[in-house]
C-alpha cells in the first residue's frame, strides 16, 4: 500500500498527519499530490469523504515551507461553513511552520477581515462574493504573487452563480500560477477550465466497477407520501430510525430558508431538539449551530443546501431529504454527508407523487435504485393533526419576527448601489412586504380548512 513517504511528502507533514489520525493516503491523494508537487494544474474528482481537502492542502503547505511568503495560496469555496472547515484543516497541518491563514466570508466584520488581509497571511480561504467586495473596496493587500489558486466544489463555483465575482478575482491574480479544481461532481466544470488556466491539465477521476456515483456503504431509501402530510412522515421517519439508533446524528435537508426555520421550530416544539443552518441566520449563529451538531451536543441539524457540500461531520448516521432536489448532483452532495471515510450511513428521501420524475432522474444519475423505508401508517394518522397545528403556529410566530429583515436590508443595499433613489427603494420593498404577507395568510387559512376536513 502507498505511504505518504512514497508521495515525497515531507516528514514534518507526516508527523502532523499522525497527530490528527491520518496514516494512509486515499486514492485521490495518491494520484493528485505528485502531480501538484511537480507543478501541474490539476482537476480531481472523487466521491464525498475521499480526502479531497488534504489532496491540495498537503502539497501547498510543502511548497510554502520551501519558499514562505504571503499571500501564497488562495482557496475559493461556495459556502461559508466549508471555508471555515478548510481553514481549520490548513491550520492543523501547518501549525509546525507557524502558518498564517485567514478566512474571508460574508456575515463577518469587513474591517477586521481587511486588517487580516493587510497582514499578508500565507493562506486565504474565501467565498467569492466577500473576497470580490474586498478587492473592489480596498488596496491594502494583493493577490498578484499567489502560487496556487484552488477552486473547491469547482462545479458549483463555475456553474454560473459566481461568474461576476470570479471575474473580479481572476483579474487580480497572476497568470503564472497553479490552478487546482476539486469536487465530487466536476463534469460540469470541465468545459470551463480554460477560464482559469492555459496550461495542460492533470485530470484524475475516481472510478469503481459498480458504476454507482455514491459510496457503497450508503443505504439509500425513499418514503412515498402525500405532499400535505410530508411533515408528519418526516417525524415518523425520525421516530422509526430512533427506535434502532437512539444516539445517531441526523441531518435534514430542505429547499428554502423559510421552510428550514419552520421545520426547526416545529420539531423543537414536538420534542426533537435541533439546530437550524441557513443563509438568513447570522454567521456567528450558523457557526454555533454547526459546532453544537459536530460536537454531538445537538443530534439533529436542519439545513438548506448551504450544508450540502464538503462539510466533514463523521458522526452523521442519517440524512433525510425533506424535499427532492431538482438537480440530481445536489442529491449526491446531500447524501454525501453520511457514510464518509468507509463508515456506514443511511439516506431517506420523502417522495411525493409530484417527485417521481425527479426520483427517476436521481436513480439514473447515481446508477442505483432506492429501496422503500417502511413507516407505520397508523402513527402518521395519529400525529398528523398535532404536527400540522404546531407548524401553523410556527408560521404565525415567524411572521411576527424580523426573519425577513436581513433579506430586505441586503436587497435595499443592492438597489441603492444600482443607482436607485433611497425613497423609491423603500417603496419597492414595502410593496414586496405586503405581497409576501397576503399569500402566507391565505396559505394558513387553506391549511386550517384542509385539517378540519381531515378530522371530520
Whether 73 is covered by a domain: the verdict is yes
Contacts of 71 (CB under 8 A, 6+ apart): 117, 120, 121, 122, 123, 124, 141, 142, 143, 145, 146
Distance separating alpha carbons of residues 101 and 90, to the nearest angstrom: 8
Same-domain check for residues 392 and 412 = no
Peptide bond into 143 cis (omega under 30): no
Same-domain check for residues 230 and 201 = no
Phi, psi of 398 (to 5 degrees): -65, -35
Same-domain check for residues 237 and 181 = no
Q: Of the residues 205, 230, 259, which one is the last residue of a structural domain?
A: 205
Whether 301 is covered by a domain: the verdict is yes
Most distant CA pair in the chain: distance in Å? 76
Whether 323 is covered by a domain: the verdict is yes
Number of domains composing the chain = 3
CA dihedral of residues 417, 422, 428, 433 (deg, nearest 10): 100
Whether 210 is covered by a domain: the verdict is no
Same-domain check for residues 184 and 326 = no
For the full predicted model, state whether its pTM sits above 0.75: yes
**Span 383-424, pLDDT tens digits:** 999 999 999 999 999 888 777 666 677 677 666 666 677 777
User: Residues 157-163: what's their mean pLDDT?
Assistant: 88
Same-domain check for residues 184 and 264 = no
How confident is the model at residue 363, as a pLDDT?
Answer: 95
CA dihedral of residues 307, 311, 315, 316 (deg, nearest 10): 30
Distance separating alpha carbons of residues 124 and 70, to the nearest angstrom: 9
Phi, psi of 402 (to 5 degrees): -95, 35
**Span 59-107, pLDDT tens digits:** 999 999 999 999 999 999 999 999 999 999 999 999 999 999 999 999 8
- Give Rg (Cα) of the chain: 23
Distance separating alpha carbons of residues 363 and 357, to the nearest angstrom: 10
Query: Can you tell me which residue has the cell 438568513?
Result: 280
- Domain of 324 in residue numbering reads as 218-397
More confident residue, 351 or 452: 351
Looking up residue 194, the CATH number of its domain turns out to be: 3.40.50.300
Distance separating alpha carbons of residues 375 and 250, to the nearest angstrom: 17
Query: Can you tell me which residue has the cell 475559493?
Result: 76
How confident is the model at residue 217, as a pLDDT?
Answer: 84
Distance separating alpha carbons of residues 338 and 126, to the nearest angstrom: 25
Other Cβ atoms within 10 Å of 8 Cβ, number: 12
Cell of 275: 439546530
**Span 263-293, pLDDT tens digits:** 999 999 999 999 999 988 888 999 999 999 9
The confidence band for 310, taking pLDDT boundaries of 50, 70 and 90, is: confident
Whether 212 is covered by a domain: the verdict is no
Whether 213 is covered by a domain: the verdict is no
pLDDT at 344 over 90: no
* DSSP string for 228-241: GGHHHHHHHHHHHH
Phi, psi of 304 (to 5 degrees): -85, -170
Query: Can you tell me which residue has the cell 520551501?
Result: 66
Q: How far does CA 341 lie from the centroid of its chain? A: 18
**Span 228-237, pLDDT tens digits:** 999 999 999 9
For 126, the enclosing helix (H) or strand (E) is: strand 123-126
Contacts of 438 (CB under 8 A, 6+ apart): none
Distance separating alpha carbons of residues 32 and 55, to the nearest angstrom: 6
Contacts of 19 (CB under 8 A, 6+ apart): none
Q: Of the residues 374, 397, 420, which one is the last residue of a structural domain?
A: 397
Compute the C-alpha angle 327/332/334, nearest 5°: 95
Best CA proximity match to 61, nearest among 13, 124, 14, 27: 13
Q: Of the residues 146, 171, 205, which one is the last residue of a structural domain?
A: 205
Same-domain check for residues 315 and 429 = no
Same-domain check for residues 250 and 292 = yes
Distance separating alpha carbons of residues 370 and 361, to the nearest angstrom: 12
Amino acid at each position: 500500500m502507498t505511504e505518504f513517504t512514497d508521495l515525497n511528502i515531507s516528514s514534518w507533514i507526516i508527523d502532523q498527519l499522525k497527530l490528527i489520525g491520518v496514516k494512509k493516503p486515499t486514492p485521490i491523494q495518491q494520484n493528485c499530490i505528485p502531480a501538484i508537487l511537480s507543478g501541474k494544474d490539476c482537476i480531481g474528482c472523487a466521491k464525498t469523504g475521499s480526502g479531497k481537502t488534504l489532496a491540495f492542502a498537503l502539497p501547498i503547505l510543502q511548497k510554502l515551507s520551501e519558499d514562505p511568503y504571503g499571500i501564497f495560496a488562495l482557496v475559493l469555496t461556495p459556502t461559508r461553513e466549508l471555508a471555515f472547515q478548510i481553514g481549520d484543516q490548513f491550520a492543523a497541518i501547518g501549525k509546525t511552520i507557524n502558518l498564517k491563514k485567514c478566512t474571508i466570508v460574508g456575515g463577518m466584520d469587513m474591517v477586521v477581515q481587511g486588517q487580516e488581509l493587510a497582514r499578508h497571511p500565507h493562506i486565504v480561504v474565501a467565498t467569492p462574493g466577500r473576497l470580490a467586495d474586498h478587492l473592489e473596496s480596498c488596496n491594502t493587500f494583493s493577490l498578484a504573487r499567489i502560487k496556487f489558486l484552488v477552486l473547491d466544489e469547482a462545479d458549483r463555483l463555475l456553474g454560473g452563480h459566481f461568474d461576476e465575482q470570479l471575474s473580479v478575482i481572476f483579474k487580480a491574480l497572476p497568470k503564472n500560477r497553479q490552478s487546482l479544481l476539486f469536487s465530487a461532481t466536476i463534469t460540469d466544470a470541465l468545459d470551463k477550465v480554460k477560464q482559469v488556466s492555459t496550461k495542460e491539465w492533470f485530470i484524475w477521476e475516481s472510478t469503481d466497477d459498480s458504476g454507482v456515483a455514491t459510496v457503497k456503504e450508503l443505504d439509500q431509501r425513499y418514503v412515498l407520501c402525500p405532499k400535505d402530510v410530508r411533515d408528519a412522515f418526516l417525524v415518523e421517519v425520525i421516530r422509526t430510525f430512533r427506535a434502532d439508533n437512539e444516539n445517531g446524528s441526523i441531518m435534514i435537508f430542505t429547499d428554502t430558508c423559510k421552510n428550514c426555520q419552520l421545520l426547526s421550530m416545529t420539531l423543537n416544539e414536538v420534542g426533537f431538539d435541533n439546530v437550524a443552518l441557513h443563509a438568513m441566520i447570522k454567521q456567528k449563529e450558523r457557526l454555533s449551530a454547526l459546532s453544537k451538531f459536530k460536537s454531538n451536543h445537538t443530534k439533529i441539524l436542519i439545513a438548506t443546501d448551504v450544508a450540502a457540500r464538503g462539510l466533514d461531520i463523521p458522526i452523521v448516521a442519517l440524512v433525510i431529504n425533506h424535499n427532492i432536489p431538482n438537480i440530481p448532483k445536489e442529491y449526491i452532495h446531500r447524501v454525501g454527508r453520511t457514510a464518509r471515510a468507509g463508515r456506514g450511513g443511511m439516506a431517506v428521501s420523502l417522495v411525493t407523487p409530484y417527485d417521481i420524475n425527479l426520483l427517476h432522474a436521481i436513480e439514473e444519475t447515481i446508477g442505483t435504485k432506492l429501496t422503500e423505508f417502511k413507516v407505520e401508517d397508523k402513527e402518521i394518522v395519529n400525529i398528523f393533526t398535532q404536527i400540522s397545528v404546531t407548524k401553523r403556529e410556527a408560521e404565525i410566530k415567524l411572521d411576527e419576527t424580523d426573519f425577513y429583515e436581513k433579506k430586505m436590508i441586503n436587497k435595499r443595499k443592492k438597489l441603492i448601489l444600482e443607482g436607485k433613489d433611497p425613497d423609491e427603494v423603500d417603496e419597492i420593498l414595502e410593496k414586496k412586504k405586503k405581497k409576501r404577507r397576503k399569500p402566507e395568510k391565505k396559505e394558513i387559512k387553506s391549511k386550517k380548512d384542509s385539517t378540519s376536513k381531515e378530522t371530520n
